[in-house]
């Protein structure tokens, strides 16, 4: 039992290490030149050489991502609550939301640059635009899928719409909300890095772009690794928050 649990905890580490080893071996066996695909060890060494610069850029990317994500959470919850609690708003907003979500956000970056100039602001906005959609959808779904019988019970007690929202809607939507945060935070990274790559002079995206223009492939890959690590860390944080705060949603099932 205990042993099994330890093995489960170790699995993600093992698979990550396995991937790195495989990557290292392939590059070495096929003798792939570093300007095409550097080895992971090389990338890590170069990453360490540049760690001060990387740290500065990564910090900036993290800040940008979290700012965009925070706006997305507020906006997503409010819009999701509106869409999920009113049929009319749902009908009005749904096509707009779906349409908007289909627009590749990278196409919006030039527009944002025209409006706000190069730098942090377009990156924050891109992170926000790309990540609010899953939050809206999930919050709305959580609110809208209330059992009709439960609604009847509450209404025949004299519950107002607000009562129903507070007593049942929001608690019910919580697991949906937290599940969407995990997705949204990783999307927010995508958004901020895209925007930094296209239109900024700070951030990991910019760092990678400038490194690739100098053919410093190991540094590009070091940047990629940093983004991946930040993404995983954020995902895990929200995963833990989700499990802690909505235990009931697992119906007591022992999911690690």
Partner 1 sequence: MSKSFVELNDVKLRYSEGDELALETTNMKIDKGEFIAVVGPSGCGKSSLLKLVSGLMPPSEGNVIVDGKEVSGPLKIVGMAFQNPTLLPWRTTLDNVLLPMEIVKPHRNRLRKHRAEYEESARKLLATVGLEGHEDKYPWELSGGMQQRASLCRSLIHEPDLLMLDEPFGALDAFTREELWDILQNLWMIKPFTVILVTHDLREAAYLADTIYVMSKRPGKILVERENTLPRPRDQETTFTQPFTDLVHELRSHIRDVREA
Least separation, in Å, of the C-beta of 168 and partner 1? 7
**Distances 75 to 121, 135, 136, 153, 248 between C-alpha atoms, Å:** 17, 9, 8, 31, 26
| Residue 194 contacts residue 205 (beta carbons within 8 Å) | yes
Listed residue (144, 117, 133) closest to 181, CA to CA: 133
**Of 159-198, which residues contact partner 1 (CB under 8 A)?**
159, 163, 167-168, 171-172, 174
Count of alpha carbons within 13 Å of 114, Cβ hemisphere only?
Answer: 5
Least separation, in Å, of the C-beta of 213 and partner 1? 53
Listed residue (67, 73, 72, 96) closest to 83, CA to CA: 96
Which residue, 37 or 174, has its beta carbon nearer to partner 1? 174
The yes or no reply on residue 244 touching partner 1 (CB under 8 A) is no
> What is the C-alpha separation between 194 and 223, in angstroms, rounded?
13
Angle at 179 between CA 178 and CA 182, to 5 degrees: 90
Tell me which of 14, 78, 150, 237 binds partner 1, using CB under 8 A.
Answer: 150
Tell me which of 12, 25, 35, 152 binds partner 1, using CB under 8 A.
Answer: 152
Which positions from 41 to 80 touch partner 1 by CB under 8 A, shown as an x/- string? ----------------------------------------
| Residue 58 contacts residue 229 (beta carbons within 8 Å) | no
Least separation, in Å, of the C-beta of 118 and partner 1? 47
Which residue, 28 or 162, has its beta carbon nearer to partner 1? 162
Tell me which of 155, 161, 201, 240 binds partner 1, using CB under 8 A.
Answer: 155
The yes or no reply on residue 12 touching partner 1 (CB under 8 A) is no
**Which stretches within 103-216 are classed as H helix?**
109-116, 120-144, 148-155, 161-164, 170-199, 204-213
Give the pair of three-digit tokens for residue 110.
Answer: 């030039």
Least separation, in Å, of the C-beta of 132 and partner 1? 26
Least separation, in Å, of the C-beta of 146 and partner 1? 10
The yes or no reply on residue 149 touching partner 1 (CB under 8 A) is yes
Which residue, 172 or 182, has its beta carbon nearer to partner 1? 172
Least separation, in Å, of the C-beta of 94 and partner 1? 23
* Binding residues with partner 1: total (CB under 8 A): 22
> What is the C-alpha separation between 39 and 174, in angstroms, rounded?
43
In terms of Cβ atoms closer than 10 Å to its own Cβ (0-12, 13-18, 19+), residue 66 is middle
Using CB under 8 A as the criterion, which residues of the chain lie in contact with partner 1 when the complex forms? 147, 149-150, 152-159, 163, 167-168, 171-172, 174, 246, 248-249, 251-252
């Amino acid at each position: 039992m205990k042993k099994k649990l330890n093995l489960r905890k170790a699995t993600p580490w093992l698979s990550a290490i396995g991937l790195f080893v495989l990557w290292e071996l392939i590059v070495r066996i096929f003798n792939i030149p570093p300007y095409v695909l550097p080895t992971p060890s090389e990338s890590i060494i170069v990453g360490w050489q540049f760690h001060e610069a990387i740290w500065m850029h990564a910090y900036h990317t993290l800040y940008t991502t979290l700012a965009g994500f925070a706006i997305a959470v507020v906006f997503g919850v409010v819009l999701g609550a509106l869409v999920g609690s009113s049929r009319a708003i749902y009908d009005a907003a749904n096509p707009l939301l779906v349409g908007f979500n289909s627009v590749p956000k990278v196409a919006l970056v030039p527009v944002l640059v025209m409006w706000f100039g190069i730098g942090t602001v377009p990156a924050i906005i891109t992170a926000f635009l790309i990540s609010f959609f899953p939050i809206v959808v999930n919050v709305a779904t959580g609110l809208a899928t209330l059992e009709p019988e439960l609604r009847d019970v509450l209404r025949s007690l004299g519950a107002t719409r607000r009562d129903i929202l507070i007593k049942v809607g929001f608690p019910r939507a919580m697991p949906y909300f937290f599940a969407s945060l995990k997705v949204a935070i990783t999307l927010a990274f995508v958004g901020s890095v895209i925007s930094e790559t296209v239109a900024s002079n700070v951030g990991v995206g910019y760092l990678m772009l400038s490194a690739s223009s100098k053919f410093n492939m190991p540094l590009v890959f070091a940047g990629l690794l940093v983004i991946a690590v930040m993404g995983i860390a954020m995902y895990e944080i929200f995963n833990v928050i989700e499990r802690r705060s909505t235990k009931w949603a697992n119906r007591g099932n022992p999911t690690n």
